[in-house]
Amino acid sequence: MTTPLEIGAGETALFWILAPISVIAALGLLFARKSVHAALSMIVVMLIAGVFYIANEAPFVGIIQIVVYSGAVMMLFLFVVMLVGRDASDSLIETIRGQRLATVLVTLGLVALLTVVVGQVTWGGAVGLAATNTETGNVTGLAYLIFGRYVWIFEVSALLLITAAVASMVLAHRTRLAPPPNQRAWAARRFREGKHLAGLPAPGVYARHNAVDTPALLPDGSISELSVSRVLAARSQVASPERFADAQDEIEREIEEGSER
Amino acid sequence: MSLVNYIYLSAILFSIGGAVVLLRRNAIIVFMGVELMLNAANLAFITFARMHGQLDGQVIALFVMVVASAEVVVGLAIIMAIFRSRRSASIDNANLLKA
Amino acid sequence: MTFLVTAAAAEPGAAPAYAWLLIGLPLLGAAILLLGGRKTDSFGPLLATGLSWASFVLALPLLFAMLGRAPEDRAVEHVLYSWIRAGSFQLDAGILIDPLSMSFVLLITFVGSLIHVYSLGYMKDDPGHVRHEGHTLSAWEESRQPSERRRFFAYLNLFIAAMLLLVLANSYPLLFVGWEGVGLASYLLIGFWNHNPAYATAANKAFIVNRVGDMGVIAAIMAMFAAFGATDFAGVGAAAAEADTGVLVLIGLLLLLGATGKSAQFPLQSWLGDAMAGPTPVSALIHAATMVTAGVYLIVRSAPIFNNAPTAQTAVAVIGAVTLLYGAVVGMAKDDIKKALAASTMSQIGYMMLAAGLGPAGYAYAIFHLLTHGFFKAGMFLGAGSVMHGMKDEVNMRRFGGLSTFMKITWITFGLGWLAILGVPPFSGFWSKDAIIETAFIGEGIRPWLLGGAALVGAGITAFYMSRLFFMTFHGKRRWSERDYHPHESPPTMTVPMMVLAAGSALLGLILAWPFAETKPIVAWLEPVVGYGGSEAEPVLAIPVIIALTLIFVAIGAFVAYRMYIQEDVPTTAPVGSWGTQAARADLYQEEVNRTLFEQPGVALVHGLEHTDRSGVDGTVGGLATWIGDLSSRLRRIQNGFARSYALTMLTGVVLFLGAVWVMQ
């Protein structure tokens, strides 16, 4: 029954193509400046891992890996990245003295240790799962194990999932201390404070463009800072209205020239 | 090529995941590093299952996924809570343990 | 009364159940007075006196019942309750009434009650608390002042109860409860005027010195428990008969240590002189008549032990002989009337201890002298109190003189006590002291000559210093001015007890040692308890010779005193005197000896310990703390609060661990 550890040429080719990619993607996790890129690298690694699972005669786990991990879990990550946004902590500059050097040394030590140990192991032959997968079927075999020998672990993991779901809801829940203000309340507050009675000026609206990041122009041609969100101002994502004003001026000038002509 | 290469790959991915945990300050990326380590372990399990010709390794890999997803859910919720109160996802800022 | 007698007689071998009331009544009085507060001010002293008398009256039917039984059936025991039960050991708290304890009960309740009566007069005007100069209290403030008389009588009752418990106990542990109780009462009463720091210190001194003796009693009880497995008198007595002599000597010496502490015997005698700080009735009751004789009681009660431990017995006799001379020498030089009497007490108790150390031949005489001494010494103390009462609390005898005409009753009663202590026939001291001297001369070799000689010389010195005291106080020239002092006789509440005690001083000896009886009544009375008390062997000198010698010594002593203190003028300020006088005046340097032997090494030890503590222990502890603090502040830097650092530490640990595992394979 025992066959050598060797695997076929097709799988070998697959491994040598995908393995370096997965390592590079993993390193991308280490070096990416933006968390979105890190998340995308992670998805690549997971997809490749799923492929490797399938190649390793574990089709069910491979599919689950792709669907659940790359699909669900990483989407969750992306959601959180979206909520948190860019953060100063994305920076790769190390703040703890000696942390980077020590990490590199320890990691290299770990790699060396694991490699050496794995290299020293006397491997028997590989049995392979082809027989099992064809006789009982991969999914059926797994089901026998999960609902048979490992049923208690299965039940406990179900409990764990439920607990985790409740815990995450508790953690994410935020109790409002007061009802959210509606338009009426906003108006009342404006009048009470006596400021911006007519509301804040709307952002710039131009003949061919309407954007919240572009400030409106006051009658004298200067910019109204009140017309753009403070968040955008803080992120220096306020666009300049100059080009729209210039374009308008240009059009008006051409019209004037045309009428004179 | 030998099946053992999968194990080597698993070891390398695991180590990279560890390095990510230690070097990145963004809690989300740190979390991804943890996930990477778990996946590396899963790869080893799957390979071992194939070597031994038994499905138990695959079952364990499934359970690891379950536990990992539970951990991700709670972990991300914690990150959100921290971000909400500190306006930062840097794990270095969460240093109330400091003496 | 008759029904009580019949009730007691109906049940032979057991004491009547009401016997505990002997102790209970005074204790109740103390409780009422101490807890009752100011409400008891008006009737408290009278109540206390009444309860003390009630205790005495209660003892009478017991006495009659005892007299109605055959001598060998006189010891009766009444078990109150099971006190200590531990494994095979069981101890009942009970009351033992036998001739020995009955003698004490009568002495304590009778003299104690008389002194209660005396105190009604003596403490009448005692403010008992500090009167600030130039500050008169308003009526309201006066009414708010705590009544110290109530406190005084409460302590007196407490003392009576504790002393009765001491002598009525049927076991050493219960005796020890009473032993400590009287110590407490003594402490409270010596320090009664504790607004005077010197008096408070005297109280502390008495308490602390007594603790040394108490250690001996406790150790003796422990030794009994270890050696015999019993601590009640019956059990110990039975076990002592066949016990190892070495164990008995050890127990005997430990008991002797306790006795020296309580009875102010050498070497624990130093507290008694200072104990005179207490009010005079206290000195009369506690520090002359009753409590200080508890040591003698302890020795006599432990007769089964001492009888089989000749070494310990000899030690008792030697201690007694040394103390009787010591006290006599100190008494010669004291000018403070109470301190002279205290020295005399010490000396007389030395006689008792000497007698107790002479074995079965002497026990009865020890108790005999104890009883007569209880009367005449209490009487003289009360007389001294009466003198002080009339002389504005002056205690310096050099400022007295010629008081006999002003205080006739005091003079006569004191004179009877004086004749008694001198041992002039037929007064009571003659019978008791002479019996002791005779017994001391019994024996072989040099021992009777040393002990008997000491007793004989002591009698002569006693005659000298007591005559000196008597003459300096009541005779000779007046060394006080009419302007400052108005000596007067004391009220009847004080003189009546003095007269009663004087009568006892005169007649008690004669009654108890009725010379025409075959055996002396006191000997016959105590015989069932302490064994045969008559002279088994003849003294080394013929008895008439001893009596004659004693009287000659007494006459010489009294004559010398007459020459020195009546025929010659007494200077109002004490002359410097010879080194002997100075030494005696300084209590033969007992304080200095104590200081050198105990205090200075103690102080040096404490200094050393303090130094060791500071530099050694504190240094070690502090150094360790500093070192750990330094280490911690260094370790603290590792705890930088960064999760990533911790994770790095973790991973490093994992790598090192795996590496170690790998290397070891």
The pLDDT assigned to C7 comes to 41
DSSP annotation of C196 = S
- Say if CB C213 and CB C186 are below 8 A apart: no
Separation CA B18–CA B5 (nearest Å)? 20
The pLDDT assigned to C636 comes to 75
Mutate to test the interface with B, among A60, A107, A135, A144 (most CBs of B within 10 A): A107
Tell me if the bond preceding C426 is cis, omega within 30° of 0. Answer: yes
The pLDDT assigned to C385 comes to 87
The pLDDT assigned to C240 comes to 84
A154 phi, psi to nearest 5 deg: -60, -45
Who among C636, C641, C647 is closest to B22 (CB)? C647
Tell whether A168 and A207 lie within a shared domain: no
The pLDDT assigned to C6 comes to 41
Q: Where are the beta strands (DSSP E) in chain A?
A: 205-206, 209-210
What average pLDDT is seen over chain C? 82
Between C24 and C87, whose confidence is greater? C24
The pLDDT assigned to C140 comes to 55
User: Two tokens at C90?
Assistant: 């069981």
Q: Which chains touch A (3 or more CB pairs under 8 A)?
A: B, C
The pLDDT assigned to A209 comes to 66
Domain that holds residue A52: 7-89
Residue B32 to residue A77, Cβ atoms within 8 A: yes
Residue C269 CB neighbours (<10 A): 27
| Total domains in the fold of chain A | 3
| pLDDT class of A158 with cuts at 50, 70, 90 | very high
| pLDDT class of A49 with cuts at 50, 70, 90 | very high
Q: Is residue A122 in a domain?
A: no
| Contacts with A38 from chain B: Cβ below 8 Å | 24, 26, 28-29, 32
Percentage of chain C beyond pLDDT 90 is: 5
| Contacts with A46 from chain B: Cβ below 8 Å | 39
- Residue C10 pLDDT > 50: no
Domain ranges in chain B? 4-86
Who among C645, C658, C662 is closest to A99 (CB)? C645
The pLDDT assigned to C1 comes to 38
Angle of helix C643-664 versus helix B4-23 axis, rounded to 10:
150
Tell whether A164 and A226 lie within a shared domain: no
- Residue C549 pLDDT > 80: yes
Q: Of A34-48, A173-187, A189-203, C435-449, which has the strongest mean pLDDT?
A: A34-48
- Residue A97 pLDDT > 50: yes
Tell whether A157 and A205 lie within a shared domain: no
Q: Quick check: B59 contacting A, CB < 8 Å? A: yes
Percentage of chain C beyond pLDDT 70 is: 91
| pLDDT class of B36 with cuts at 50, 70, 90 | very high
Between B40 and B82, whose confidence is greater? B40
- Residue C286 pLDDT > 60: yes
The pLDDT assigned to A106 comes to 92
Q: Is residue A95 in a domain?
A: no
The pLDDT assigned to C143 comes to 53
Q: Which among C171, C294, C188 is positioned nearest to C234, based on CA atoms?
A: C171
| pLDDT class of B16 with cuts at 50, 70, 90 | very high
| pLDDT class of A163 with cuts at 50, 70, 90 | very high
- Tell me the average pLDDT across A138-149: 90
Between A155 and A215, whose confidence is greater? A155
pLDDT digits 0-9 by tens, C586-641: 666 776 777 777 777 778 888 888 888 888 778 888 888 888 888 888 877 777 77
Who among B1, B35, B55 is closest to A15 (CB)? B1
DSSP annotation of B2 = B
- Residue A48 pLDDT > 60: yes
- Residue A244 pLDDT > 90: no
Q: Is residue A108 in a domain?
A: no
A6 phi, psi to nearest 5 deg: -65, 150
Residue A113 to residue C648, Cβ atoms within 8 A: no
What average pLDDT is seen over chain A? 84
- Closest residue, chain C, to A94 (C-alpha): C644
| Contacts with B72 from chain A: Cβ below 8 Å | 73, 76-77
Domain with residues B4-86, CATH architecture:
Orthogonal Bundle (1.10)
Burial of A161 (0-12, 13-18, 19+ CB in 10 A): middle
| pLDDT class of A88 with cuts at 50, 70, 90 | low
- Residue C375 pLDDT > 50: yes
User: Two tokens at C436?
Assistant: 């002791």
Separation CA A225–CA A196 (nearest Å)? 13
- The one-letter amino acid code at C638 reads I
Q: Is residue A18 in a domain?
A: yes
- Residue B84 pLDDT > 70: yes
Separation CA C47–CA C52 (nearest Å)? 9
Contacts of C157 (CB under 8 A, 6+ apart): C26, C27, C29, C30, C33, C48, C51, C52
pLDDT digits 0-9 by tens, C305-338: 888 888 888 899 999 999 988 888 888 888 888 8
Q: Quick check: C649 contacting A, CB < 8 Å? A: no
Mutate to test the interface with C, among B23, B34, B82, B97 (most CBs of C within 10 A): B97
Tell whether A215 and A255 lie within a shared domain: yes
Residue A102 to residue C655, Cβ atoms within 8 A: no
- Tell me the average pLDDT across A12-32: 92
Tell whether A17 and A72 lie within a shared domain: yes
User: Two tokens at C393?
Assistant: 């609390």
Helix segments in C564-642, DSSP class H: 579-585, 590-594, 600-611, 618-638
A197 phi, psi to nearest 5 deg: -60, -35
- Residue C141 pLDDT > 80: no
| Contacts with B69 from chain A: Cβ below 8 Å | 68, 72-73, 161
Residue A146 to residue B3, Cβ atoms within 8 A: no
Q: Quick check: B86 contacting A, CB < 8 Å? A: no
Contacts of A34 (CB under 8 A, 6+ apart): A86, A90
Who among B22, B91, B97 is closest to C648 (CB)? B22
Q: Which chains touch C (3 or more CB pairs under 8 A)?
A: A, B
| pLDDT class of C42 with cuts at 50, 70, 90 | confident
| pLDDT class of C191 with cuts at 50, 70, 90 | confident
| pLDDT class of C277 with cuts at 50, 70, 90 | confident
Residue B53 to residue A115, Cβ atoms within 8 A: no
- Residue A59 pLDDT > 60: yes
pLDDT digits 0-9 by tens, A171-185: 888 777 888 888 888
- Closest residue, chain B, to A126 (C-alpha): B51
The pLDDT assigned to B65 comes to 92
| pLDDT class of C5 with cuts at 50, 70, 90 | very low
- Tell me the average pLDDT across C62-86: 82
- Tell me the average pLDDT across C490-514: 85
Separation CA B49–CA B60 (nearest Å)? 10
ipTM of the complex: 0.91
Who among C642, C652, C662 is closest to A106 (CB)? C652
Q: Is residue A114 in a domain?
A: no
- Tell me the average pLDDT across C575-581: 70
- Tell me the average pLDDT across B25-38: 90
Residue C620 CB neighbours (<10 A): 10
Residue B76 to residue A76, Cβ atoms within 8 A: yes
- Residue C190 pLDDT > 90: no
Q: Is residue A160 in a domain?
A: yes
- Tell me the average pLDDT across C5-11: 42
